[in-house]
Amino acid sequence: MQQGVLLAVKILLVDDHDLFREGLKLLLNKLDQEIELIEAESFDQAIRVVEDTADVDLILLDLKMPGVKGMDGLVDMRARAADTPIVIMSGAYAQSDIAQAFQHGAAGFIPKTMSSRAMYSALNLVLSGERYIPSAAFLDGEIRTDDATATADDPFRALTRREREVLALLVDGLSNRQIAERLQLQEVSVRARLTGLFKKLGVHNRTQAASLAIREGYRG
């Protein structure tokens, strides 16, 4: 796998399960040996790390930490690390959890059941300044986040800025490699964005996405 945005970054992992922390640490080190992973097994410990470490690039926060109710942990962490993107991770969750996470400022929501490659792409997406919204956030064409007004009646409103750029180049007939070169992205990031915009537009492939955009007079 080509290395991307994750090169030489410092990530704080907040999770009370030793096995999960160890597994994720092995995964990230395998994908990129330059990653520095700081572990915190409790929310209080995570707060101390944030207060003592000024250059954390990304925070991975377990949704259900002992002693933390609902989204209180996310809200508190956002207040203490306002400039650091926070991604919520969870093994068991409801669609309402995803919506609330984004409403309270999360930069992404990652199911712990994701494959290693998908998780790597999701983290790259967040570190590049975008949000990662899992497919579980969508139901019958409607996005269940703070973009809840973007429905199947106006699917283009759900697209991020980068997804709009990718779609515009897709309509122009560019390949994934050409899109990556034009936008200065890794091809894996382009594929991740295409997967996201396919789901948001309710289509299954490049041809359908381009056809829908042309039919609806999409201009990016």
Residue 25 sits in a domain whose CATH number is 3.40.50.2300
Q: Looking at 104, 139, 174, which one is the last position of a domain?
A: 139
Domain residues for the domain of 196 are 149-215
Pairing of strands 58-62, 86-90: parallel
Mean pLDDT for the chain overall: 81
Same domain as 210, residue 121: no
> Between 18 and 130, where is the model more confident?
18
pLDDT at 140 over 60: no
CATH number of the domain residue 176 falls in:
1.10.10.10
pLDDT at 139 over 50: no
Contact (Cβ atoms closer than 8 angstroms) between residue 95 and residue 139: yes
Q: Which of 9-13, 131-135, 203-207 has the lowest mean pLDDT?
A: 131-135
Element (H, E) at 62: strand 58-62
Same domain as 175, residue 83: no
Q: Looking at 111, 139, 167, which one is the last position of a domain?
A: 139
pLDDT for 33: 63
pLDDT at 46 over 90: yes
∠ CA(192), CA(195), CA(199), 5° rounding?
Answer: 145
Same domain as 158, residue 130: no
Same domain as 95, residue 23: yes
Read off the pLDDT of residues 93-137 as tens digits, 9 standing for 90 and up.
777 888 889 888 899 999 888 877 778 788 888 887 788 887 666
pLDDT for 149: 38
pLDDT for 53: 82
* Domain presence at residue 4: no
* Domain presence at residue 179: yes
Q: Which of 8-12, 119-123, 213-217 has the lowest mean pLDDT?
A: 213-217
Same domain as 153, residue 75: no
In the chain, how many domains are there? Answer: 2
